[in-house]
Every structure is written in C-alpha cells, then in structure tokens.
Amino acid sequence: MHSALKRVVYPGSFDPVTNGHLDVIQRAATIFDEVIVAVARNAEKRALFSTEERMELLRQSTAHLEKVRVASFQGLLVNFAKEQGASAVVRGLRAISDFEFEFQMALMNRKLEPTLETLFLMPREEYTSLSSRVVKEIAQLGGQVAPFVPAPVLESLAKKFGSA
C-alpha cells in the first residue's frame, strides 16, 4: 500500500554531488523504501551548477539505484518533506564540525514539524574531508578530482573549467 512506504528526504545543495553524498544515499536506500534526493532551490548560495544541472548530475549518478528519486524544492524543507509523505530527513555527518549547524537545523525543523525525524548517517571515513566546495576549488585550480566525484560530475567539471 502507498502509505506504508517508508520515505526519506535527503536535502542539500549538491553543487555538485560527490562520492560522499552518494555514500549517504546508498546507506539511506538500505533503510528506506524510497529516498528522495532533494536539491534546494536556494537563491542564497551562489552555485556553480544550476538547479537543473545539479538534478541531472544526481539522476545520472544514482541511475543504478532504483529506490532513489531526484527532486527539487523551494521554501521550507519540512513543508516539502510533508508534501512528499516522508517520515524522516536524512543528513550526512562527516565530523564534529558539521554537528553544530546540523543539530540546530534538526531542532528547528522539529519545532516546525514535530512528526518529522532527522536521522544522521556517517559516510565512510575516507570522505571526512570531502565537500562540494573543496571539489570545485580543486577542479578550478586544475587538480585531480576523479577520486572524489562520480563520472558525470567529473565530465561536467571539466567542461565548466575548460580542462580535458
């Protein structure tokens, strides 16, 4: 039955998706029936990739995962999660440095929507220092990012920064 499906929303900027994000998506897919990867249409952050580009890169990078759906949202995350019938939000926690912001966000989201739980998943430790920001900086400066991102992202970064 439809309502019995356990759905989780994995929100983020995904500018662009990294292997660390993919690790979290895969872990969430082992727990939930459906993982909705939700790109925030957030004007506040200056993005390298447009929302549509970020969604397409996520789609290509998760094509092998049948439980995963890619979406975007505007406005409050809790409203989107509710609309989607999700029972939880998942976020990745790399290190203590992530904790303060994530804890604040989880508690605020709980105040806004007490029925929505936030779950944290820890990606593999080799991804502890990985972030979209660092990947973009390395790629822009001509460094190798192949170990950190899925193939479609590698190709798109090369196009953006005009390297091979």
For ligand PNS, which is the closer residue by CB, 11 or 150?
11
45 a catalytic residue: yes
129 a catalytic residue: no
Task: Give the active site residue among 13, 61, 132, 156.
Answer: 132
| 9: nearest Cα among 86, 106, 64 | 86
For ligand PNS, which is the closer residue by CB, 1 or 96?
96
CB of 142: closest distance to ligand PNS in angstroms? 25
Secondary structure (DSSP) of the chain? -GGG--EEEEEE--TT--HHHHHHHHHHHHH-SEEEEEEE--TTS--SS-HHHHHHHHHHHTTT-TTEEEEEE-S-HHHHHHHTT-SEEEEE--SHHHHHHHHHHHHHHHHH-TT-EEEEEPPPGGGTT--HHHHHHHHHTT---TTTS-HHHHHHHHHHHT--
Where do contacts with ligand PNS occur on this chain (CB under 6 A)? 11-13, 40, 42, 76-77, 105, 108-109
For ligand PNS, which is the closer residue by CB, 12 or 150?
12
CB of 38: closest distance to ligand PNS in angstroms? 8
For ligand PNS, which is the closer residue by CB, 108 or 151?
108
50 a catalytic residue: no
Task: Give the active site residue among 21, 27, 54, 67.
Answer: 21
CB of 77: closest distance to ligand PNS in angstroms? 4
2 a catalytic residue: no
Residues 102/120, Cβ–Cβ less than 8 Å: yes
Q: Which residues are catalytic?
A: 21, 45, 94, 132
